[in-house]
């Protein structure tokens, strides 16, 4: 099963990953600004799906938001709980979120969809839509490129998604895209971020 493969791949490198990318100070300043502006629009509950080491969850928590983090990898969740004891973290798959229908006001999916094959994206976006209340906010970060093209991510196989394609998938899942950002930093794969609101 793909979840099991991804979980094992990240579990094997969780400490290394956290040491390299587990601090908000290691994140691009434009990404910090993007996430902060997005979070400040939201007055209710937020979950950070695929929170990894938990640094983005803690960042948003320190802005005063009501946020919790979930991740597939127990090693990430255990580490995040130690590092950020004031924030709630749980082991959970974004394929079946432990949230009731229409109970959230925001979902952050920051590079947490990148290991999904093209066919897996629609049901996961539908699951995110299920837990969001009408007019709920979604922020997705991903690698911009030919839809479904795989590449050798540092941990395990990941996939590009073109902005237009992701926008279309979001529309099909019931979202209205409100903002799109793309960026190509030297030495990095093309970045994209999309803000959307559930209809």
Residue 154: the pLDDT is 79
pLDDT band at 65 (very low <50, low <70, confident <90, very high): very high
- Write the pLDDT tens digit of every residue in 166-179: 999 999 999 999 99
pLDDT band at 142 (very low <50, low <70, confident <90, very high): very high
Q: Cα separations (Å) of 75 from 28, 53, 71, 96, 192?
A: 25, 9, 9, 20, 28
What's the chain's Rg over C-alpha atoms? 15
| Pairing of the two strands 175-183 and 191-198 | antiparallel
- Write the pLDDT tens digit of every residue in 101-116: 999 999 999 999 999 9
**Mean predicted confidence (pLDDT) in 51-74:** 97
CB-based contact 156:108 (threshold 8 Å): no
Residue 2: the pLDDT is 56
**Mean predicted confidence (pLDDT) in 25-45:** 96
The Cα 56–Cα 108 span in angstroms is: 9
Domains, in order of start, for the chain: 2-198 (3.40.50.150)
Q: Read off φ and ψ for residue 17, nearest 5 degrees.
A: -60, -45
The Cα 129–Cα 133 span in angstroms is: 8
Q: For residue 154, give the 3-state DSSP assignment.
A: coil
The Cα 58–Cα 24 span in angstroms is: 9
CB-based contact 3:72 (threshold 8 Å): yes
pLDDT band at 1 (very low <50, low <70, confident <90, very high): very low
The Cα 77–Cα 14 span in angstroms is: 10
**Mean predicted confidence (pLDDT) in 192-199:** 98
**Mean predicted confidence (pLDDT) in 193-198:** 98
Rounded to the nearest integer, the mean pLDDT of the chain is: 94
The Cα 108–Cα 131 span in angstroms is: 12
pLDDT band at 14 (very low <50, low <70, confident <90, very high): confident
N residues, the chain: 199
């Amino acid at each position: 099963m793909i979840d099991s493969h991804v979980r094992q791949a990240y579990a094997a490198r969780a400490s290394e990953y956290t040491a390299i990318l587990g601090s908000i100070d290691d994140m691009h300043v434009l990404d910090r600004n993007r996430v902060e502006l997005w979070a400040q629009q939201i007055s209710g509950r937020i979950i950070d799906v695929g929170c990894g080491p938990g640094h983005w969850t803690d960042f948003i928590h320190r802005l005063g938001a009501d946020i919790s983090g979930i991740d597939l990898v127990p090693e990430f969740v255990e580490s995040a709980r130690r590092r950020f004891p004031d924030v709630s973290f749980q082991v959970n798959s974004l394929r079946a979120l432990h949230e009731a229908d229409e109970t959230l006001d925001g979902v952050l999916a920051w590079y947490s969809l990148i290991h999904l094959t093209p066919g897996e994206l629609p049901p996961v976006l539908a699951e995110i839509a299920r837990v969001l209340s009408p007019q709920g906010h979604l922020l997705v970060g991903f690698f911009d490129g030919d839809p479904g093209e795989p590449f050798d991510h540092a941990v395990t196989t990941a996939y590009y998604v073109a902005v237009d394609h992701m926008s279309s998938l979001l529309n099909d899942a019931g979202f209205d895209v409100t903002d799109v950002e793309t960026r190509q930093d030297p030495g990095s794969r093309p970045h994209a971020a999309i803000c959307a609101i559930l209809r």
